[in-house]
Chains A and B, each alone.
Chain A
Amino acid sequence: MDSPSDIGVSRRGLLTSGAGFAAVTALPASASNKEPVAPMETPPALPVQLKVNGKPAELTVDTRTTLLDALREHLHLTGTKKGCDHGQCGACTVMVNGRRINSCLSLAVMHEGDSVTTIEGLGTPEDLHPMQAAFVKHDGYQCGYCTPGQICSAVAVLDEIKAGIPSHVAADVAASPAFSEMEIRERMSGNICRCGAYSNIVEAIREAAGRRQA
Chain B
Amino acid sequence: MKAFHYTRASSPADAAALAAKTPGAKFIAGGTNLLDLMKLEIETPAHLIDVNKLALDRIEETPDGGLRIGALVRNTDLAADKRVRRDYAVLTRAIVAGASGQLRNKATTAGNLLQRTRCPYFYDPNQPCNKRKPGSGCAAIGGFSRQLAVIGTSKACIATYPGDMAIAMRLLDATVETVKPDGATRKIAIADFHRLPGDTPHLDNTLQTGELITAVTLPKPLGGKHFYHKVRDRASYAFALVSVAAVVQKDGTGRVAFGGMAHKPWRVEAAEAALPKGAAATARIAFAGATPTHDNAFKLPLAERTLAAVLSEARG
State if A and B touch, Cβ cutoff 8 Å: yes
* Any A CB within 8 A of the CB of B109: no
**A50 interface residue (CB < 8 Å to B):** no
Is there an interface contact between A64 and B31, defined as CB atoms closer than 8 Å? no
Check B139–A85 contact: CB distance below 8 A.
no
Q: Does B41 sit at the interface, judged by CB under 8 A?
A: yes
Q: Which positions 64-103 of chain A face chain B at CB distance < 8 Å?
A: 64, 66, 85-87, 90, 93, 99-102
The closest CB in chain A to the CB of B94 belongs to A168
In whole angstroms, how far apart are the Cα atoms of A85 and B77 in the complex?
25
Segment from A40-48, A123-131, A139-147, A200-208 that makes contact with B:
A40-48
Q: Which of A9, A168, A173 contacts B89 (CB 8 A)?
A: A173
Contacts of A85 in B (CB 8 A): 39
- Contact partner of B106 (CB less than 8 A), chosen from A40, A102, A156, A170, is A102
Bound-state Cα–Cα, A2 to B294, Å? 9
Q: How far apart are the CA atoms of A80 and B11 in the complex, in Å?
A: 34
Instruction: For B236, list chain A residues within 8 Å (CB).
Output: 168, 185-186, 189
- Shortest distance in angstroms between A214's beta carbon and chain B's nearest beta carbon? 25
Which B residues are in CB contact (< 8 Å) with A10?
128, 133, 136-137
Q: Which residues does chain B contribute within 8 Å of A163, judged by CB atoms? A: 80
* Cross-chain contact A189 with B136 (CB below 8 angstroms): no
Does the CB pair B96–A3 fall under 8 Å? Answer: no
Residues of B within 8 Å of A22, CB to CB, are none
Contact of A7 among B39, B106, B142 (CB under 8 A): B142
Query: For the side of the interface on A, what is the size category?
Result: 35 or more
Residue B200 interfacial (CB < 8 Å): no
Measured between C-beta atoms, what is the minimum distance from A115 to chain B in Å? 14
B6, B23, B89, B93 interface centre (most CB from chain A within 10 Å) = B6
CA distance A185 to B1 in the complex (A): 34
Interchain CB contact (< 8 A) of A29 among B4, B30, B41 = B41
Please report the C-alpha to C-alpha distance between residue A92 and residue B291 in the assembled complex, in whole angstroms: 40
Interface residues, chain B, CB within 8 Å of chain A? Answer: 1-6, 23-24, 28, 30-32, 35-36, 38-39, 41, 44, 46, 48, 50, 52, 76, 79-80, 82, 85-86, 89, 92-93, 96-97, 99-103, 105-106, 125-128, 130, 133, 135-139, 141-142, 155, 235-237, 291, 293-294
Report 23 cross-chain contacts, Cβ distance below 8 Å, ordered by A residue: A2-B142, A2-B294, A6-B155, A7-B141, A9-B135, A11-B133, A15-B127, A29-B41, A30-B2, A32-B133, A44-B3, A63-B6, A64-B1, A99-B105, A101-B103, A105-B31, A107-B35, A107-B48, A110-B52, A163-B80, A166-B92, A168-B97, A173-B96
**9 tightest A-B CB contacts, nearest first:** A8-B137, A190-B100, A189-B236, A29-B41, A43-B3, A37-B46, A40-B3, A63-B6, A174-B85
Given A7-B141, A26-B125, 10 extra CB contacts under 8 A: A6-B137, A29-B44, A40-B46, A86-B39, A87-B103, A101-B105, A101-B106, A106-B106, A174-B86, A187-B101
